[in-house]
Amino acid sequence: MRRLLFAANWKMHLPPHEAREYVKVFLLRYRTRPDREVWFFPPAVSLEPVAHAVRDRSDLRAGAQNIHWESKGAFTGELSPAMASHAGARATLVGHSERRHLFGETDAETSRKVMAALKAELTPVLCVGETLEEREAGQTLAVVTRQLEAALAGLDGETLGKLVVAYEPVWAIGTGRNATPQDAAQVHAAIRRWLQSGTRKAKLTRVLYGGSVNLKNIAELLAEPELDGVLVGGASLDPEGWATLAQTGAA
């Protein structure tokens, strides 16, 4: 069975003192559920306090928003996998649409980051998705498949089972627009076919949806059996609202 996963990407919000207070409120409001996990991806300066606050909970995890593929060196502003791990990270986002489209991260770089994360025993959450122009041109599945091939080619089914894939259509990130549950399920099904094709046979890889997820649409999204959870930005910044959202959906 694949446990539901609710992942909170705080982006460039919540510095350390606010992050500590956030987790205190969340822990008071959130009831543990055996069918799900909740992961937090704070900015780098808040990673250690968040990881410390959830260290005793097997269902909660802290992760890095981004890592570099090198272990050390002259890479000003970057975070190595080992640094993230020592700060308490157990996972990392890779290839988020903002990293790809605002900072020019390439498919080749996402591959290096996935491999570096796995080597450091961090769970990669690989983000894939198409732009509005690509969607309107009917290229959604071709783009997503290209991104999967570039980042995950050569990995066997057992290794693929250790990572997470998040489908996040670029046109739905922070825009208030989101794919319909049926649209999301169609792409998720295609991702799952890729994961299970050939010699990969990866049946345990969780596939999340990300893109303007909120309390109004979460239940409808989770009703689709192809979705194993969600990657949430803005709606995860309020601890009480996030606690409510993360408890939505039946086991």
In this predicted model, what pLDDT tens digit does every residue of 182-192 receive, in sequence order?
889 999 999 99
The reply to whether 96 belongs to the active site is: yes
Question: Is 251 a domain residue?
Answer: no
- Packing angle between helix 44-53 and helix 16-29, nearest 10 degrees? 30
Question: Is 194 a domain residue?
Answer: yes
Supply the pLDDT for residue 180.
Answer: 85
Question: Is 248 a domain residue?
Answer: no
Q: Indicate which residue of 68, 96, 98, 130 is catalytic.
A: 96
CA distance 234 to 201: 34
Supply the pLDDT for residue 185.
Answer: 92
Question: Is 244 a domain residue?
Answer: no
Q: What residues make up the domain containing 122? A: 4-238
Q: Which tops the pLDDT comparison, 176 or 73? A: 73
Instruction: Quote the pTM value.
Output: 0.96
Question: Is 168 a domain residue?
Answer: yes
Q: What is the mean pLDDT of the chain?
A: 95
Question: Is 138 a domain residue?
Answer: yes
Question: Is 113 a domain residue?
Answer: yes
Binning pLDDT at 50, 70 and 90, where does residue 251 land?
Answer: low
Domain CATH number, residue 153: 3.20.20.70
The reply to whether 188 belongs to the active site is: no
Q: Indicate which residue of 48, 130, 168, 226 is catalytic.
A: 168
Over residues 36-93, the pLDDT tens digits come to 999 999 999 999 999 999 999 999 999 999 999 999 999 999 999 999 999 999 999 9
Number of domains the chain is built from: 1
Question: Is 17 a domain residue?
Answer: yes
